[in-house]
Structure 1
Amino acid sequence: MLELRHIDKTYRSRGKPPVHAVRSLDMEVGKGEIVALLGSSGCGKTSTLRMIAGFESVTSGTIALQGRRIEHLPPARRKVAMAFEGYSLYPPLTVRENIAFALKSQQIARSEISRRVEAVARLVEIEGILESFPRAISGGQQQRVSLARALVRDADLYLLDEPMGQLEPQLRAVLRGRIKNLLAERGMTAIFVTHDQTEASALADRIAVMEDGVLQQFASERELKNQPANLFVASFIGEPPMNLLETDVSRSDGGFRLLMNREVAFEIRGDVLDRVAQKTLEDTASVRIGIRPQKIAVGTGDVRVRVFSNQWLGDQSHVAGECGGKLLIAVTPSRVAARPGDNIQFGLDPRDIHIFGADGTCIRHAEVS
């Protein structure tokens, strides 16, 4: 198990203001669990990974792996394997020698080293370049060498920094499945950094969403979509992103009425709200609501929209419609016979809306069907 407690990282440069890259991060990763650090560029995910590996110092806080404190240990003593985003291969060594480098210091038999190297090379499809040098292979091949060098080791934790960012989509999809199976079959604990939601969903058991150095939510992909903790997670997770709309709040019989620009009204029963949500709606004049594009019915319903765009993506239509000066995006599995400028109907069910308070915290989740 990996435990991060109150981890802070501040970068200081002479003549420049300090950069607070990671802020009071708390996280636990179970043995055999695969975790993704997901966020936009500069959110602190790579700094977090490098602090765990020992390539960045911890400004404050503690890191424990398998019950032992490691934040003060050099990288070589942490029992952590890492695949670097920048590859960090040894130029004078062949691909085979790069992959085998860490194994040679562990007094492993030469035949066993060769077996492991060739097995992991087949896994990432680089068996044909084992005798090549790093300068003679492509960036995508170098990335796979770096990945193989980490996966071939015996470690308590595997850290993968954008492990497949340079690969073409077809190969990336194949390797995701192979690496997921390898990690699961061997019970390997792994953390990987990515900005790709598809990669995070395909590989990870849980996803840690970060922004501005702060852990926003740490949960399964399903929970992040159905129960986002706040506005940032709601808008960041999902493709296309969640529709977010400002609404006015008023009391109605047995509940509340949420009105958007006098065009769209949602009736929310009081008995489906907890005490915090009821109190928030009683005390505020407006809230933001969110609805997933996949939850909007196209061609039926009470909301009339003017089509802004209509895209068929091969297996689904993305229809953007303007309503009361706001843009709503709907996703449907069938083709939609509508052109920009046409008026069509959207169906929005109050049970499918999330409600966010003034501080961005989600106070009511959509009902899960």
Structure 2
Amino acid sequence: MSEVMLKLDRVDKFYGLIDHGVHAVRDISMEVKKGDIVALLGSSGCGKTSTLRMVAGFEPVSRGSISINGREIHHLPPVKRNVAMAFEGYSLYPTVTVRDNIAFALKSGNLPATEVARKVENVAEMLEISNILDRYATSISGGQQQRASLARALIRDADLHLLDEPMGQLEPQLRTLLRGRIKSYIKERGLTAILVTHDQTEANALADRIAVMEDGELQQYASPDEIKEAPANLFTGTFVGEPPMNVFPATVTVADAMVTLEMADGLVLTYPANAFPDDLLARLVELQQITLGVRPYSVKRSEKGAPAVIVANQWLGDQTHIAASFAGGALVLVEHDRTHLSVGDQIAVNLEPSDLHVFNPATGMAVSHGTELVG
């Protein structure tokens, strides 16, 4: 079993008085294994940066504890935590060159000057900033400053590397290139990293595990594949995925060896009852009212199926995104070939039981994924 590098135990963060101020982080518990890359993913204001800053020591913990390598560190100042942080706001020293900014943490480690220079050149080449090493922070772009801040964090010998929106200022082509390089750099050196991002593509590309956050709460902590294929709740199901998951309310009845899902506008989906295991059938009958989810990539057009009417058809260069009026709402489906459909065209779509996600509308929690009952 991998060693636990970081542990958060029921951590709360209040801005203002405890239990009366803004409750930015709510009772978060999670473990990060040594050598893992973990992404804190969520929208602006969800608590992900506050969580990272509590680990770094720049924000005090209101309740709970934080441990690194089994040692409680939440009461220690940042300098005694042995963490390296790349700030979203860069925080470079303006009076020294980019080279000296990156090398700053190494110069206190008694490394030979030639070794320091080699390490700086290597990380600079990896991040495409070799040509600005002898310039000052005030003379380079925001994207270059961001990469210099990232280099300064990654070059350090630290227990944890904390990366706050490390590529937010970079153009898409460069960001795509650097994702692979940064992940390889971290993995080859056995580093442990925590990444804060609102970009799910970045989280999926870099992270071994993703912590999805919303309103200060941890919604799900799992691998990228598990979050996509088995979201813990409706929020995670609809937040993670591009395009987002389609969701519709439905009423379940089981009779005459058939499962019927009654939806808005009189739409009815029917399936053989034997397509579902008995425990799932019993749960569906118990709930009656469900929220049905299906990923756009899983929606298939067919000659016979549920009716839908095209409202938009967009070719994105490598795939087609089709939106259709369906069951009182909008259904999005994705096809890899260019599709010649016009607004107002009628189509039929097929939703297989193995592609359906069922959520409890009262709690938002997942009930089943495909034909497998959760829990």
Common fold: TM-score over 0.5: yes
- Aligned with residue 308 of structure 1, among 295, 308, 311: 311
Secondary structure, aligned partner of 2:290? strand
Partner Cα distance (1:196, 1:318) in 2: 20
| Per-residue deviation, 1:305 | 1.0
Q: Summarize the Cα distance change of 1:68–1:322 in structure 2 as closer, same or farther, 3 Å threshold.
A: same
Structure 2 residue aligned with 1:362: 366
Aligned partner of residue 55 in structure 1, secondary structure: coil
Q: Please say if 1:5 is aligned against 2:4.
A: no
| Correspondence 1:164 to 2:162 | no
Q: Which residue of 2 aligns with 1:81?
A: 84
State the Cα deviation string for residues 200-239 of structure 1 (Å, max 9, x = none): 1111111110000111011111111110000001000110
Rounded to whole Å, the distance in 2 between the matches of 1:151 and 1:201 is: 20
Q: Percent identity?
A: 55
CA drift at 1:279: 4.9
| One-letter amino acid of the counterpart of residue 361, structure 1 | M
Aligned-partner Cα distance in 2 for 1:280–1:76: 53
Question: Comparing 250-259 with 328-337, which one deviates more in the overlay?
Answer: 250-259
1:145 match: secondary structure: helix
Contact 2:353 2:371 in 1 (8 A): no
Q: Which residue of 1 aligns with 2:61?
A: 58
* 2:25 partner SS: strand
Q: Letter of the aligned partner of 2:146 in structure 1?
A: Q
**CA–CA distance in structure 2, aligned partners of residues 315 and 250 of structure 1:** 40
1:238 equivalent among 233, 238, 241? 241
Aligned residue for 2:176? 173
Q: Which 10-residue stretch deviates more, 294-303 or 171-180? A: 294-303
Partner Cα separation in structure 2 for residue 154 and residue 60 of structure 1: 29
What CA distance in whole angstroms lies between the structure 1 residues aligned with 2:145 and 2:278? Answer: 53
Assess if the C-alpha contact under 8 Å between 2:275 and 2:353 holds in 1: no
Deviation at 1:323, TM superposition (A): 2.1
Q: TM-score, normalised by structure 1?
A: 0.95
Deviation, 1:278, is 4.5
Closer/same/farther in 2, CA of residues 259 and 221 from structure 1, 3 Å limit: same
Partner of 2:211: 208
Aligned to 2:223: 220
**SS across alignment from 2:134:** coil
Residue 251 of structure 1, CA deviation: 2.4
CA contact 1:83–1:150 (8 Å) conserved in 2: yes
Looking at structure 2, the residues matched to 331 and 43 of structure 1 have their Cα atoms a distance apart, in angstroms, of: 29
1:265 aligned partner, one-letter code? L
Compare 96-105 and 238-247 and name the one that shifted more. 96-105
Cα distance in 2 for residues equivalent to 1:361 and 1:273: 20
Please say if 1:319 is aligned against 2:311.
no
Which SS does the other structure have where 1:22 is aligned?
A: strand
2:104 to 86, 101, 104: 101
Q: Secondary structure at the match of 1:181?
A: helix
Task: Give the conservation status (yes or no) of the 8 Å contact 1:273–1:364.
Answer: no
Q: Report the Cα offset of residue 44 of structure 1.
A: 0.6
Q: Give the match's secondary structure for 1:336.
A: coil
Kindly report structure 1 stretches of 4+ aligned residues shifted beyond 6 Å.
none
Shift of 1:325: 2.2
Q: Shift of the alpha carbon at 1:327?
A: 1.0
> What is the Cα deviation at residue 326 of structure 1?
1.7
Q: 1:47 matched to which residue of 2?
A: 50
Does the CA-based 8 Å contact 1:298-1:332 persist in structure 2? no
User: Take 1:289 and 1:278, find their aligned partners in 2: how far apart are those partners?
Assistant: 15
For residues 268 and 327 of structure 2, the distance between their equivalents in structure 1, rounded to whole angstroms, comes to: 8
Q: Distance in 2 between matches of 1:367 and 1:250?
A: 16
Q: 1:132 and 1:26 mapped to 2: Cα distance?
A: 43
- Residue identity opposite 2:178 in structure 1: L
Q: Tell me if 1:269 matches 2:273.
A: yes
